[in-house]
Amino acid sequence: MAKAKKPAAKSKGGSLVVGSKVKDVIRSAGVRAAGDLVEAVSAAVGAQLKTAIGRCKANGRGTVRPQDL
């Protein structure tokens, strides 16, 4: 019988990044990635997007633009 998969670590809304791509970037630099790195990168991206959304709204726009980052 096949082993049951471990449930993925659940964050609010799920991951905002592709874990394999993050790890590929790290590996291509010749270093290793900690097990919780992908979750931390996703949290950093979420914080950056939250800030960008705030700037967008503060400027009276309904579209987040690159300059909001």
List, as one string, the DSSP characters of 18-56: -HHHHHHHHHHTT----TTHHHHHHHHHHHHHHHHHHHH
Q: Give the count of domains, the chain.
A: 1
Residue 45 lies in a domain: yes
pLDDT of residue 59: 97
- Which range of residues forms the domain containing residue 41? 35-61
Residue 56 lies in a domain: yes
Residue 22 lies in a domain: no
pLDDT tens per residue across span 9-60 = 555 679 999 999 999 999 999 999 999 999 999 999 999 999 999 999 999 9
pTM value?
Answer: 0.76
Residue 54 lies in a domain: yes
**Token pair for 25:** 């970037």
pLDDT of residue 13: 76
pLDDT of residue 12: 67
Residue 57 lies in a domain: yes
The count of other CB atoms within 10 Å of the CB of residue 9 is 10
